[in-house]
A and B are shown apart, each in its own frame.
Chain A
Amino acid sequence: MTLPLRVLVAKVGLDGHDRGARVVARMLRDAGMEVIYAGLRQTPESIVETALQEDVDVVGLSMHNAAHRALAPRVVEALRSAGLDCSVVVGGVVPDSDIEFLHQRGVAAVLGPGASAEAVAEAVRSAGADRADRPPLNARSRHPPATGEDGT
């Protein structure tokens, strides 16, 4: 049996619109994934740190503020230079014309406004599938969820 995917959901930059990130976090949990919700004002460095500690398969970034072009590629770079192979998925207000730009810079998938729960889960699953098949990076122990993380 495969272990559930571990997904880090975060917002980078200064934007505080967290409705999408919170709802997506709960949807992914409903879809059987283990979700670490890092919340607001994360930096590429803080994402690397959490991704490492929590051994995540996918990093989901929620962006609503036109900063995706500057910030999403930085997160990918920071993860790669720390030797992490987890996939990065971006959701939020991203113009179609920027999607290719993000793909070229290593973003696995981009989800626009109105994406259904199934579409979000599917994109995250397929972004993570790649990594889940691989052997553990560093003995891949599964931690119990941190406190405050269950959806009650």
Chain B
Amino acid sequence: MITDSINRGSLFGGVATAIILASLLAKRWDSELRVITRTEKARERNFGTILKLNNIPFTKNVDFLFADVNSADVQIDLSPNDYFLTTSWWTTRSVLQSVNVSRVIYLLQEDERMFYPHGDDHRLCSEILHSPGIRFVINTKLLFSHFVNEGFLNMRDSATWFEPSFSPQLLYSEKSAEREDKKRNLFFYARPSHPRNLFYLGLSVICSAIERKILDVNKWNIYFVGCDSQSITLDRGYAPIIVPNLGWEEYCSLVRKMDLGLCLMYTPHPSYPPLDLAACGGVVVTNTYGVKDALRQYSKNIICRDATIEGLLHGLVEGVALANDHERREKNYREDRLLRDWNESFSAVIKNLSEV
């Protein structure tokens, strides 16, 4: 497995998913596993922590190598039997410079072209994504459909997709009855330096919701959650609770206490926070994007609306009502179709990769 870092700050979501897939593949193939990081030496312990938190027994030893992206002297010993699980277009590109494409498995968790304006990086990323012969493993059917719609014939013919899982040990519903007499909690996924999370649209929506009394600040605590949020004062002097950089367990503990989320993602992938919240019985308002026009296939507690102030305000009206409707919210939670076991998530992918 090759990735930038597995250290705090890099570990959420995508990298954890890669660690899980790499471990399950190593188990299935009974192969050695090496984790190669590019931007910093691995804090090895994080690897075990992720597996433990996701209830994945793993008894193999793992080699951790730091192939510093800034050093021209870095060498990695290869054998012709090695497979490389890459986690981004740039790690894929670096591997392809030394390794035959047939040995590359690319865990694709976003349309990575969207990270860039039209220019060299965008073009290089497109080139890698169009490479024939790479085995793509795509995070969610939704993202797979997006690529097919975008004309990626290489993916249509050979990619496999999976739906992620949500650890039942960490992401579960805390009885809201225990908090009946307390204020409701709103989770806003607030990451100003990640443009795809539409921080400023979300901020406008929250301000308007307070203004229009959709969110009554006497009844709602508003949490701004994200690694780079700054101290903020909203209209009428309301100060949201700022929650910067959390460890995974702290994050899950916080998510369990949430009644409603506003999680925006201006890409086709649903992203993890809305699904984390739904996995804990919360209600979530998120935005549509292309083929992402609804997320009811995961949970009826996820409300998907246009990425406009009015669209999302309508979503919040529905969301607040649903968050307060314990019976319907609980029923939706019980009937959700989120997976809770990574073995199930990856079973078809691993079968497919093992057969090739």
Q: Is A bound to B?
A: no
Interface residues, chain A, with chain B CB atoms under 8 Å away: none
Chain B residues near A (Cβ < 8 Å): none
